[in-house]
A = this chain, B = another copy of it.
Amino acid sequence: MNKLDSKIIRPTLLLDKQKCMTNIEAMMARAQRANARLRPHFKTHQSAEVGNWFKEKGVENIAVSSMDMAEYFANHGWKDITVAIPVNVREIDLINDLASKIQLNLVVESREAILFLESELKHPVGIFIKVDTGYHRCGLPSEAIGSFRILIDLMKETEMMNCRGFLAHSGHNYNAKDQNDIHKNHSKTLLDLNELKDVFRKEIPNIEVSLGDTPACSISEEFYGIDELRPGNFVFYDIMQYVLGSCEENEIAVAMACPVIARNIDRNELVIHGGGVHFSKEFIEADDEGTKLFGSLVRITENGWSEILGGGFLASISQEHGIIRCSDDLFDQFTIGDLIGILPVHSCMTVNLMKDYLTTEGNWITTMNSKQ
């Protein structure tokens, strides 16, 4: 048994710190070239320790996807946090608590939320208005100038709400057919956000536009008029990003090590302990027939993992089991008790389920979901 192998008893999420640091440095350099602030989205790693790796590189501002997560990172020393989801007004007590301690930034897109905050906020917060750039999940469409004006005017009347500008997430880039598609979406997004910025430049002092999605932030070098980049997934990447062209294979910084628990020679299938409670059930379609792929295979090595192994893939998962469909050759290489590494389809969901990481150097790292 090699060094890593001997530490692994059950499905274990491996983290390659060196790849991770390289990913952080690359995105910081990209933001610098674009004259934009990097405000990494910490929903991907959810870990104070991984957060410190960003801090070492000079990052001071972060985004999170829930108030819980904002509280966790505020407790770990972060002083400027944007909660990048329309505000849940039921969390007003925690909002007021955090707003008394740090620079808290919230996202709104409705009169109701603003009126509620106006009456309940006890400490100042920064406010970004959500813009829909084509994902159609939430936000106001960029051309709805009248609607934006109503919200901005409302905020002028308030004491505790400091309107900072606009925030967008081009989530439709995750469904892009190819890089061309991403470039096309991104160009339109830049145009729309710049027009919006121009319209309200005089009304919002120090107006800012914050944009974040890993595909566009990884592929494009063009961020004219964008003040802040807010990608998250880039810290680890995953098979979905690899297929989109956002990263190289060797930039994927997490892999799940799973023990082989059964082998079916008639079907050339290896069964691993590793299922929906480890990976989530996200998949990509691997071909035009809609073949589902839940992860790609690697070999666990002494201090990390190999390149992707041809001839097999994680083809289905249930709650605890995973089925690897493979070639004769690959099938013969693995027996009961061996480990197989799986590069996950979606690292954010996998991390959220796994709660802890084992670094390829052999150290355990916790997240906000760890039991401890």
Contacts and interface: CB of A to CB of B under 8 A. Distances in A.
A47 to B, nearest CB: 15
Interface string A302-344: 0000000000000010111101000000000001110000000
Interface in A56-95: 65-68, 85-91, 94
A85 B273 contact: yes
B276 A280 contact: yes
B348 A319 contact: yes
Nearest to A316: B137
Contacts of A110: 262-263, 336
A348 B318 CA distance: 11
Nearest to A174: B318
Contacts of A113: 336
Interface string A335-362: 1110000000000110011000000000
A233 B280 CA distance: 18
A9 B261 contact: no
A33 interface: no
A116 interface: yes
Contacts of A335: 112
Q: How many copies does the complex hold?
A: 2
B137 A323 contact: yes
A325 to B, nearest CB: 11
Interface residues of A, number: 55
A349 B277 CA distance: 7
A202 interface: no
A171 interface: yes
A316 B337 CA distance: 38
A121 to B, nearest CB: 15
A320 B86 CA distance: 11
Contact of A116 (B66, B67, B337, B372): B337
B112 A319 contact: no
A271 B138 CA distance: 7
Interface string A88-125: 11110010000000000000011011001000000000
Contacts of A68: 10
A137 B8 contact: no
Contacts of A137: 271, 316, 318, 321, 323
Contacts of A66: 10, 273, 320
Contacts of A88: 9-10, 259, 261, 273, 337
Nearest to A276: B349
A282 interface: yes
Interface of A: 8-10, 43, 65-68, 85-91, 94, 109-110, 112-113, 116, 130, 136-138, 171, 259, 261-264, 267, 271, 273, 276-277, 280-282, 316, 318-321, 323, 335-337, 348-349, 352-353, 369, 371-372
